[in-house]
Amino acid sequence: MSEAVNDARTFARNAKGVRELLSMKFDTLPFEGEWYDAFGTPESRGVWIVWGKSGSGKTSFVMKLCKELCKYGRVVYNSLEEGISLTMQNTVRRSNMLETNRRFLLVCESMDELSLRLKRQKSPDFVVIDSFQYTYMSFPQFLKFKEQHRNKLLIFISHASGQNPDGRTAKKVLYNASLKIYVEGKRAFSHGRFIGPKGYYDIWPEEAEIYFGGKPILNDENE
């Protein structure tokens, strides 16, 4: 078979007409209640990024998110920054992760080791990487990792600089992500392509109310 014929078949396979595109079905997360109100019904694979300053409630939010995701599949949390430590033990205990019925797995692995884990049969559906800065990935390396695991939901946790992820590469990941979650004042805001009716999730409602003082919140979409 000629190279030209192969190329033609590749282009035909990759191209989607409007009618075909609109008829396609995508796997989504059937969030309900406060999760739906904040994030709608996002796709169950792809890239998300969660960022916020220390003390913002970011870690508590991520644990609550992991617990919610455990309803729909298995979660692996790669604790690059804290490792398997007393800090993580306390975090897991406070979040009552025992209730996840063994659907939550905590590891501390290099990105190459994690990649091998994700290539196994029956590997976890959802992957949390904490933090992006501790992966030491370049943007091309991130894109390669994403492509290798395009059937997974990859959630990167990031440090913050102001109201943006910290570092040039993390900012590029932000624009690549379909769901961008900014955490401040014990409140997690959806700044991505999936936004629910409310547009935010209160991690600790009373503290969030005190911090924001009942002010209306506007959600910017970072495309």
pLDDT in tens, the chain (223 residues): 555 545 545 545 566 677 676 666 768 999 999 999 999 999 999 999 999 999 999 999 999 999 999 999 999 999 999 999 999 999 999 999 989 988 999 999 999 999 999 999 999 999 999 999 999 999 999 999 999 999 999 999 999 999 999 999 999 999 999 999 999 999 999 987 778 889 999 999 999 999 998 664 545 544 4
Residue 223 confidence (pLDDT): 42
Question: How far is 144 from 34, CA to CA, in rounded Å?
Answer: 34
Residue 17 confidence (pLDDT): 74
Residue 7 confidence (pLDDT): 52
Task: Confirm whether 170 is domain-assigned.
Answer: yes
Residue 193 confidence (pLDDT): 76
Contact 214, 54 (CB under 8 A): no
Residue 24 confidence (pLDDT): 67
Strands (E) located in 147-186: 153-158, 160-161, 164-165, 179-184
Task: Confirm whether 222 is domain-assigned.
Answer: no
How buried is 90 (Cβ within 10 angstroms: 0-12 exposed, 13-18 middle, 19+ buried)?
Answer: exposed
Question: How far is 187 from 77, CA to CA, in rounded Å?
Answer: 21
Task: Confirm whether 16 is domain-assigned.
Answer: no
Task: Confirm whether 76 is domain-assigned.
Answer: yes
Question: How far is 222 from 38, CA to CA, in rounded Å?
Answer: 16
Task: Confirm whether 18 is domain-assigned.
Answer: no
Residue 101 confidence (pLDDT): 80
Q: Tell me which residue has tokens 């192969």.
A: 6
> For position 42, which CATH number holds?
3.40.50.300
How buried is 20 (Cβ within 10 angstroms: 0-12 exposed, 13-18 middle, 19+ buried)?
Answer: exposed
Task: Confirm whether 31 is domain-assigned.
Answer: yes
Contact 151, 118 (CB under 8 A): no
Q: Strand 153-158 and strand 104-107: pairing?
A: unpaired
Task: Confirm whether 124 is domain-assigned.
Answer: yes
Tokens of 3: 């190279």
**Cα-flanking dihedrals φ and ψ of residue 131, to 5°?**
-120, 170
Predicted TM-score (pTM) of the model is: 0.86
Counting the structural domains of the chain, the total is 1
| Full residue range of the structural domain in which residue 178 is found | 26-212
Contact 169, 138 (CB under 8 A): yes
Task: Confirm whether 60 is domain-assigned.
Answer: yes
For 174, residues 6+ apart whose C-beta sits below 8 A from its C-beta are 49, 51, 158, 164, 165, 180, 222
